[in-house]
Amino acid sequence: MRLTLRAHKLFVVVVGVLCAALVAQADELKTQRTASNQAARSENPDPEAGRIKSNTERCQECHDHDGNSTSPGVPKLAGLSYDYIVKQLGDFQSRSRRHDIMNAMAAGIGKADLADLAAFFSRQKRDTGGGAKGDANSANLFEHGDTARGIAACVSCHGNADGGTGPGGLAYPLLNGQQRFYVREQLLDWKVGSRTNSPGGIMNNIAQRLSDDEIESLSEYISKL
């Protein structure tokens, strides 16, 4: 009787270990399957899913339903390239770009959801400023830069009517019609070094060569394009 009881206890222990191993294996397979599905979805982003998520993730509260924000300090996301949006959201997640609200908002977005959001906003038409001309100096800086001061033309990376491709084939954001106060804030942040996530620090180098008055007038010019 004693041997039978001991054998029974041993059997229970063995069964428990086997069950625990099976549960752990099932969890691992589930994790691998989820990661595989996430990777597949991020490689095939769904803009319609991104539209829905832009509401559930509360993007629309600030950036509006189609990415054309009407708030002076909130950027328009419509028309930004897919790659640029993905990079910026990734930078907010890693905190290599700092913004209290966006760091918190981006923290919980998965890779596939991020791809869907980028696919949606990149396909929206940007509300531009209609091509109104600003002051001549700003137009010259935008179109030609200032080689004497080492300032590259904005269009050399950003393009003239859509997002451009700068050095190294990297995606640069569409500037036309962007919110004036947002552009000014970013240029000032580049200038003082509180934002540092441009490729090779190119925007820090350019902004540091601009006067505050030039930043003000260039921001206004860009908003009217």
pLDDT at 34: 44
Cα dihedral 158/164/165/166 (nearest 10): -10
Contacts by 69-72 with C-beta closer than 8 Å and gap 24+? 69/179, 71/179, 72/179, 72/180, 72/181, 72/182
Evaluate if residue 27 carries a pLDDT over 90.
no
> What is the rounded average pLDDT of the residues 76-99?
96
pLDDT at 102: 97
Q: Determine the Cα–Cα distance for residues 120 and 117; give it in Å rounded to an integer.
A: 5
The top-scoring range by mean pLDDT among 32-36, 55-59, 204-208 is 204-208
pLDDT at 28: 52
Return all residues near 170 (Cβ < 8 A) that are at least 6 apart. Answer: 83, 199
pLDDT at 35: 46
> What is the rounded average pLDDT of the residues 112-133?
91
- What pLDDT digit, counting tens, does each position of 159-208 carry? 877 666 666 667 899 999 999 999 999 999 999 999 999 999 999 999 99
pLDDT band with cut points at 50, 70 and 90 for residue 75: very high
pLDDT at 134: 76
